[in-house]
Amino acid sequence: MSYKSFQEMLKKVFLALFVAAAISCSAGPRVNLDGDGPGMLKPDAAQSVIVKDLVGLFESIHYKKVPFNDSLSSEIFDKYIKTLDEGKNYFLKSDIEDFENYRNVIVDDLKEGDLSSMFHIFNVYQTRYLERLKFAESQVKNDFDFTKDETYTYNRKNEDWFATKEEANETWRKRVKYDMLTLKLSRSGEEVENKQKNIETLTKRYENLISQAEKTNHNDAFQIIMNAFTGAIDPHTNYFNPSYAQAFNEDMARTFEGIGARLVLDNEVVKIMEILPGGPAFKDKSLQVDDRIIGVAQGNEEFVDIIGWRLDNAVAKIKGPKGTVVRLKIIPAGQELTSQPKIISLTRDKIVMEETSAKKEIKMVTGDDGKQYKIGVINIPGFYLDFKAYNDKDPNYKSTTRDVRLILDTLKQEKVDAVLIDLRSNGGGSLIEAIELTGLFIDSGPVVQVRDTRNRIEVDNDEEPGTSYDGPLGIMIDRFSASASEIFAAAIQDYGRGIILGTQSYGKGTVQSAIDMSRVISASNRLLLKAQNIDRQEVAPGAPEFGQINITMAKFYRINGSSTQHKGVTPDIEFPTVYPADKFGESSEPAALPWDQINATKYSPVANLSNLITALESKHETRMQASPEYKNMLEDIKLLNEKEDETEVTIQEAKLKKERDEAEARSAARNNQRRIAISAGHLPLEAEDKDADKKLKVDFVQDESLNVMADMISLIKK
């Protein structure tokens, strides 16, 4: 034996001894998952390592210093059960009583990397879930009596857990009856034929749900477990498994590398749902919508059959780095699966997701002075930034600010009188982009203050002198405008640079940092995993091998010193809210950080808009008193509040039909009212205007915000 061979043998011996020692030193799992039955899910060693190292990370760098004790354990337990079965539709009371044994030991287990109790709970859930679906499928062909006066409790939040399987079966019998009645009321025509169609529709629905549930794997279970763990600490700290992490990062960048097609799973087969403009599939013209992909090959390698695969696994095969070749085995749309497939070859490329980027449109609005004003509306769905391209000094990197700057240049060329930015349902994104976007509208100066875990405060400034647009400006927000949206809206408000319209924003005042878990896992744990030859899930190219943690490491504050945490941004012109703060937003999250404030930083407001806002409010209120749409909005809010506490629905055909007819009559009356307004009293509108349906879809908040902007232009001119 050579010296080199001897050394290699010693390495293997020491490695084996290290693994044996590591295994012998760790306590056995709390639950023997072999007892859950064949096919039940178990954590792999990598997942145990990830959760163990995450506990250490939280204890050392998380902004919220949470003690890892029995109290946190109980919170994780409650959140986990709620995540799995919030509606109390699956677990039995006896299951919950059994799980109570783990309530106060979960944190201790996580510290040791022991996921057995959490996986056991998931396995029981999976068993109950499939039991319910299979029972439901067995009920579809029942001859239901729709004249019987029965109700179905669809919201069981105030109910106890099912005491027996028989009690669960009775609730699910009613659920299937309700589903069948809903289908019956939605179809017109011959009753016997419709009944058969309804049976086929509902059978296929449950078969698909069962098929997807049976594909659930240990990575799915781990993701749900981690959501409960991180969510009990802080609602915005999230662990993402490799595929989720890749999707998150691509969404943040608004770019990805692949063939440029959106895929969907249809009856166990991957189908083309959409071809993205500009991508390889679009340029090649070989793929069409509704084509089915049955096999995938990398370059000149052998084809892999993907029929019956989970969608995420199929997507991981099809996507890949720019410049690489993928071959697809295709059954063209409309042909049988037994048809001869065609083979197409595509070279992957970088795809820019323009449909989820900032967009503009121009609206003409008549002011109360009788003049027509041209207003540019910019919709910003998120604060995105391609970090990789940005860090690589790519001059064409994708970002919100770059897109909006180009839009503003176009709007100025078209000589708009004002700009209205729509941030409704914009959940935020990049802090860098919030700062730089603000810089397009102010000369220079502080935008936001950030306090870290050591209570150090940093003031982030717009360093670039000059503005891209200095005319009249409005910002629309709603309850789902959060984080970066709130930083931007708050800065515009504090500087007096524009007016804020809409409803109180979400109230997320925390900052997260994305950390690749490969940077967290210790060298010794990596060695252990390598020694055990862990069979990891297939990770798509570019995805973090062990996932990613987005962890809260700071809070941000307005330049006036106030936190947006809980309180959000209050609009200057406020609209009625459909979403109450106690049920939606940061203040509805039990684990959310509290509101606080720090000292204001020095900044020079552009203007004091208080007098202008008072005048705008007066004009706005006058319009609201005479507005049918405003009245409709108030009625909708009232109806929603009345229905908020409803938990059941009738499954007697005559009663349900009456309720739906009344709702449709209300909707028809509103549409007639709109038709009259649009066509100046000449009906039917459909015969006169091909865009009638589009015009009937009223965005009341945007329409009234445009009116406020017209008032603003008029008042400024005066």
Give me the active site residues, please. 483, 494, 508
3-state secondary structure of 706: helix
Judge whether 503 and 584 are in contact, CB under 8 Å: no
Within 8 A by CB and 6+ apart from 442, the residues are: 462, 467, 491, 495, 497, 606
Which residue type sits at 375?
I
Q: Rounded CA gap, 328 and 344, in Å?
A: 5
Say if residue 7 is exposed, middle or buried (CB neighbours under 10 Å; 0-12, 13-18, 19+).
exposed
C-alpha of 556 from chain center: 22
Minimal CA–CA distance to 73: which of 119, 106, 98, 114?
106
DSSP 290: T
Q: Report how far apart, in Å, the C-alpha atoms of 331 and of each of 270, 290, 454 are.
A: 10, 9, 59
Judge whether 377 and 362 are in contact, CB under 8 Å: yes
Q: Rounded CA gap, 281 and 278, in Å?
A: 8
The pair of three-digit structure tokens given for residue 595, joined into one six-digit string: 């509101």
Q: Rounded CA gap, 177 and 192, in Å?
A: 17
Which residue type sits at 484?
A
The pair of three-digit structure tokens given for residue 593, joined into one six-digit string: 């950080």
254: left (phi over 0), alpha (psi -120 to 50) or beta: left
Minimal CA–CA distance to 607: which of 474, 436, 454, 493?
493
DSSP3 helix / strand / coil % (the chain, rounded to 5)? 45, 15, 35
The pair of three-digit structure tokens given for residue 11, joined into one six-digit string: 């390495």
In sequence order, which ranges of 522-576 are alpha helices (DSSP H)?
523-531
- Gap between the terminal Cα atoms of the chain: 97
Judge whether 532 and 85 are in contact, CB under 8 Å: no
- Backbone φ and ψ of 293, nearest 5°: -100, 120
Q: Rounded CA gap, 710 and 716, in Å?
A: 10
The pair of three-digit structure tokens given for residue 409, joined into one six-digit string: 């240049």
DSSP 535: -
Which residue type sits at 530?
K
The pair of three-digit structure tokens given for residue 175, joined into one six-digit string: 């659920």
Please identify which residue in the block is written with the tokens 């810089």.
439
- Backbone φ and ψ of 20, nearest 5°: -60, -40
Judge whether 573 and 613 are in contact, CB under 8 Å: yes
Judge whether 46 and 534 are in contact, CB under 8 Å: yes
